[in-house]
Amino acid sequence: MSDARVLRETLEIVLANDDTFPRRFYEVLFERHPQAQALFHRSSHTAQNKMFAKKLTALVDHVEDPAWLERELTTLAANHVGYGVTPEMYPWVGEALLATLREACGAAWTADAERAWTDTYAAMTRAILSST
Amino acid sequence: MSPITSTNAELELPWNKVRSRVPRRYPHLVLAWSLDEPERIGEALPIERATSIGRGGPLDDDPAPRTSLHRIRPFSFVEGPPIGSARISRRQLIAEPVGEDEVRLRSVGRALMRIGGKPVTEASVRAGDVVEIHNAAVFLVASRPLELPASPPLEFPFGAPDPFGIVGESENAWSLRAQLAFAASTDRHVLIVGESGVGKELSARAIHGLSSRRASTFVARNAATMPESLIDAELFGNVKNYPNPGMPERPGLIGEADGSTLFLDEIGDLPEKCQVHLLRVLDDGGEYQRLGEAKTRRSSFRLVAATNRPLEMLKHDFLARFTHRIALPGLPDRRDDVPLVLAEILRRTARNNPTIAARFFERRSGQVAEPRLAPELVVRLLRHPFTHHVRELERIVWLALGTAEADYIGITPAVEAELRDSAESASESVELDRETLAQALAANGRSPTRAAKALGLKNRFVLLRLLKKHGLSVDAEHDG
């Protein structure tokens, strides 16, 4: 199965549980890295959850569209610099994202899923950091 | 000599072509609520042929070509970006038109589809029905042409109030804007007809704002508030000390509106003799006399009058002075605008009330963003048979805000008590036949208020609408 298909299938599973997934993601992130909480004061919790789910879904939907990804990740990188996000914070987010996905997928989480998400997140982080 | 033959197209006269040109209508899904994309409310998904609907762009194995939401305006039909809501599946619905106002829907996605509150996987829906995609989106089914009525070029963001405060992107909203613009361009007197709360003053201000008189001050007055003994003095003005000693000199509304627009609301409440007094000044010369003055004056004013009464209640020669009659659509006639009007009421409320903004609205990048609005409230409002239109919608919004127990705007017991289903009112109307209506009017001294009460209707406007439907009027004893 292609990485794109694995990413989409796992994301469909986690999004089926309404807004539990984005909420849980932030819980995990702030539990492991409480210092990240200070960066999320500009938007209300539900708005932040919605933005996160929408952005993640769009990135996965376009994972096979390099032109779209480059455009989107460049904008994302510029915005994140403005929010005060520093390079060492990207692994924190990746770690929380993988942990939440693992938890939400339960038995449906496979080694293929672990590898596809880890590789994709690493590639996207590289693209973001190289454009700042 | 060979005979000259003509094709049917050549024989058809241009005026006949215009008369026979009725634009084809198609069912549309109009976005009424969206959790993730509230900025797209009012956009419509035209169902011209079998269509795949879902998140993102086209997929290789789509069973039918994919369509997204469009921003449809006169001379403009712009497809927006693909649906981006995370809760909507990549392949969510397959829609197929069945005639002009019906569409067959098949739910093939992860999110549950509900119609009339019931979960379904396949259904036929008609204009006026509401389709819910669980906790993701609410669509109203509407029947519309692909091209909206030609209208003046007004520049304002999609879904926002136009420069005159009128909110709406529906066919009827744009048709109204076109009528107002045409009336404004002609400089003739205008009669605006519509129930309470449909925006009569807003429309009058739009006519003034679109006319060549816009640089002058708009003069507005409610005819029902003028004391009967002073109506003439109010309208035409008076010289000093006339009719009573000590009275100051007044130019009157007509003099005040010289070169501008005079808006008289509730003109139906003007006594007949006062209507007669206005006949001369409403003719082309605009001649009138101040009370107590022999001199004839002229005023180049345009009268925009409004009434919510049946036109038969106005004197026929007074009515004839109004070149244009514009009937304002009520909210039930432009249901697709209800979510936009609701959004504007909430936006205005949040702007003026920081406590409400902090409690009921999302915050994005430090700014007040969209309201936390329960989709079931939108669903019920789309089906509510409004009789006092925007004013009634405003009252329901305040009731929902005032009785909310959480941080979202939804259906509380107090709101529930106010909401009805348009299907209920339709069945109520079916029971009231022509004869019953005529008898109720006769038995109640032809008072629409008392007759409506006797028939158990919500108010006199419901009765007036039914009378119109059956070709009856309040005044005539023997209607044709």
Whole-number pLDDT of residue B428: 43
Report the distance separating Cα B6 and Cα A131, nearest Å. Answer: 69
Best residue in A50, A51, A79, A80 to probe B by mutation, most B CBs within 10 Å? A50
Closest chain A C-alpha to B395 CA, distance in angstroms: 27
Report the distance separating Cα B117 and Cα B127, nearest Å. Answer: 16
Which residue in the set B36, B57, B89 is minimally distant from A50, CB to CB? B36
Whole-number pLDDT of residue B429: 45
For chain A, the residue count is 132
Across the interface, do A47 and B363 touch by the CB < 8 Å criterion?
Answer: yes
Across the interface, do A54 and B86 touch by the CB < 8 Å criterion?
Answer: yes
Full-model pTM = 0.85
Ranking A14-23, B29-38, B174-183, B455-464 by mean pLDDT, the lowest is B455-464
Ranking B69-73, B281-285, B454-458 by mean pLDDT, the lowest is B454-458
| Residue indicated by tokens 């993601």 | A25
Q: Which chain B residue lies closest to A46 (C-alpha atoms)?
A: B362
- Give residues with Cβ within 8 angstroms of B323, minimum separation 6: B186, B188, B189, B190
Across the interface, do A44 and B90 touch by the CB < 8 Å criterion?
Answer: no
pLDDT tens digits, A32-44? 999 999 999 889 9
Strand, coil or helix: B306 = strand
Across the interface, do A43 and B363 touch by the CB < 8 Å criterion?
Answer: yes
Strand, coil or helix: B128 = coil
Q: Which chain A residue lies closest to B110 (C-alpha atoms)?
A: A16
Report the distance separating Cα B146 and Cα B47, nearest Å. Answer: 10
Report the distance separating Cα A42 and Cα A63, nearest Å. Answer: 28
B306 neighbors B201 (Cβ within 8 angstroms): yes
For the segment B117-123, the average pLDDT, to the nearest whole number, is 93
Whole-number pLDDT of residue B424: 44
Closest chain B C-alpha to A43 CA, distance in angstroms: 4
A-B contacts at Cβ under 8 angstroms: 52
For the segment A75-79, the average pLDDT, to the nearest whole number, is 92
pLDDT tens digits, B419-467? 998 754 443 444 677 888 888 888 888 888 788 878 877 667 678 777 8
Query: What is the share, in percent, of chain A residues with pLDDT greater than 90?
Result: 77
Whether A64 and chain B come into contact, CB under 8 Å, resolves to: no
For the segment B101-110, the average pLDDT, to the nearest whole number, is 94
B208 neighbors B304 (Cβ within 8 angstroms): yes
B349: pLDDT strictly greater than 90: yes
Ranking A94-98, B196-200, B241-245 by mean pLDDT, the lowest is B241-245
Report the distance separating Cα A102 and Cα A118, nearest Å. Answer: 12
Taking CA A11 as the corner, what is the angle to CA A5 and CA A13, rounded to the nearest 5 degrees? 105
- Cis peptide bond upstream of A87, omega within 30: no
Cα–Cα distances (Å) from B391 to B196, B205, B377, in that order, read 8, 18, 17
Taking CA B40 as the corner, what is the angle to CA B52 and CA B375, rounded to the nearest 5 degrees? 85
Taking CA B390 as the corner, what is the angle to CA B389 and CA B396, rounded to the nearest 5 degrees? 90
Across the interface, do A18 and B55 touch by the CB < 8 Å criterion?
Answer: no
Whether A17 and chain B come into contact, CB under 8 Å, resolves to: no
Mean pLDDT of all residues belonging to chain B:
90
pLDDT tens digits, B232-269? 999 999 999 988 888 899 999 999 999 999 999 999 99
For the segment B83-98, the average pLDDT, to the nearest whole number, is 94
Which residue in the set B57, B86, B364 is minimally distant from A57, CB to CB? B86
